[in-house]
């Protein structure tokens, strides 16, 4: 009688839990020559696959985003001018000593306003996408896993919401919910987050649904159902960890889009209200000074552009690393 030999005694349940596979499945797969693991695949020349690396661009994106977040959090303690202080005689002045980014049309320090404005812009971008991920991600996960009647009811509603232009929907919601002139700055920001967050629900929901549908058909889900595991446990512990990277990749892109959308709302006068700065209303206010003081729009637009670019690049990095992981299963 042939003695059974464990294909790899070093496999443990903890090592395989991340991809939702039981050790028995790992052993069976490796016994027939199918390699499953977290190692980066190699090309024919024996070099690691570049898709598994973050790369210089990824680290630059992380560094820029880390810098912006740090400046936003530390703005109250940094040696900056008051973003509302007006320097008489320096209105619309270019970069100079004491004002590295110049001043705006009212003589307020641009460096201070850009840094303080990052607090509102980041709060709106992150808040809107977090709201969309919680609601849309949950709906997409449930409809993609359970299918049937749940999918037949929820998915058409998301498609209907997706058919409405997102910016028009956000503009309408913010106009209705924060039209009063006595609305506080905090409430207005919350309303903008809510308005933009609602527009992201169908997008994140449909993407989550598609990925959940794919992962719920995998062998490890079938095996878990065969041994009597509860569907809710399978959905949360086995399917969600594999779907989350795709959700996070799209969320990175969504944060940038939400920040740009906030700028569009500011142009229509329903975004963050002056004099409280945000990147959007700084650009909206400075668009009338393009000939006299183009630095107001240029510097703020460059910061916004680099932030959105970093978010998009980081989203691509997450997507590539997810593709590597998915290709190994």
Predicted structure pTM score: 0.77
- Tell me the DSSP string of 213-268: HHHTTSHHHHHHHHTT--HHHHIIIIIHHHHHHHHHHHHHHHHHHHHHHHHHHHHT
Predicted confidence band at 219 (pLDDT cuts at 50, 70, 90)?
confident
Predicted confidence band at 15 (pLDDT cuts at 50, 70, 90)?
very low
Give φ, ψ of 103 to 5 degrees.
-130, 165
Please determine, for residue 31, whether its predicted confidence score (pLDDT) is greater than 70. Answer: no
Q: What mean pLDDT is predicted for residues 64-75?
A: 95
Q: For the chain, list the domains and their CATH numbers.
A: 1-38 (no CATH), 46-86+106-327 (1.10.3720.10)
Per residue in 190-212, pLDDT tens?
Answer: 888 998 999 899 999 999 998 89
Per residue in 173-182, pLDDT tens?
Answer: 888 877 666 7
Q: What percent of the chain has pLDDT over 70?
A: 81
Predicted confidence band at 186 (pLDDT cuts at 50, 70, 90)?
confident
d(C-alpha 62, C-alpha 141), whole Å: 28
Please determine, for residue 10, whether its predicted confidence score (pLDDT) is greater than 60. Answer: no
Q: Name 42's bridge partners.
A: 48
- Return the higher-pLDDT residue of 9 and 102: 102
In sequence order, which ranges of 268-294 are alpha helices (DSSP H)?
279-286
Q: What percent of the chain has pLDDT over 90?
A: 33
């Amino acid at each position: 009688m042939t003695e059974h030999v464990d294909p790899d005694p070093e496999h443990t349940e903890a090592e395989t839990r991340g991809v939702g596979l039981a050790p028995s499945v790992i052993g069976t797969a490796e016994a027939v020559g199918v390699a499953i693991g977290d190692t980066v695949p190699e090309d024919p020349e024996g070099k690691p696959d570049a898709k598994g690396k973050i790369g210089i661009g990824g680290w630059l994106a992380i560094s820029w985003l880390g810098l912006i977040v740090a400046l936003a959090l530390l703005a109250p303690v940094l040696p900056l001018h008051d973003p509302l202080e007006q320097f008489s005689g320096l209105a619309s002045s270019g970069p100079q000593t004491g004002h590295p980014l110049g001043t705006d049309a009212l003589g307020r320090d641009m460096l201070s306003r850009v840094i303080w404005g990052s607090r509102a812009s980041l709060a709106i971008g992150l808040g809107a996408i977090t709201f969309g991920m919680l609601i849309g991600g949950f709906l997409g996960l449930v409809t993609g896993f359970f299918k049937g009647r749940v999918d037949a009811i929820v998915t058409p509603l998301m498609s209907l919401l997706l058919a409405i232009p997102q910016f028009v929907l956000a503009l309408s919601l913010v106009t209705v919910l924060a039209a009063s002139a006595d609305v506080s700055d905090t409430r207005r920001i919350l309303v903008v987050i809510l308005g933009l967050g609602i527009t992201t629900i169908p997008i994140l929901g449909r993407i989550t649904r598609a990925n959940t549908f794919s992962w719920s058909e995998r062998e490890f889900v079938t095996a878990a159902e065969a041994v009597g595991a509860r569907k809710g446990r399978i959905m949360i512990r086995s399917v969600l960890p594999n779907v989350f990277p795709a959700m996070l990749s799209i969320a990175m892109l969504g944060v940038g889009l939400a920040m740009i959308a906030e700028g569009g709302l500011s142009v229509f006068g329903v975004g963050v209200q002056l004099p409280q700065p945000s990147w959007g209303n700084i650009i909206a206010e400075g668009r009338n000074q393009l000939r006299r003081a183009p630095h107001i729009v240029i510097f703020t637009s460059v910061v916004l552009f680099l932030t959105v670019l970093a978010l998009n690049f980081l989203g691509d990095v997450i997507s590539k690393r997810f593709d590597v992981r998915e290709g190994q299963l």
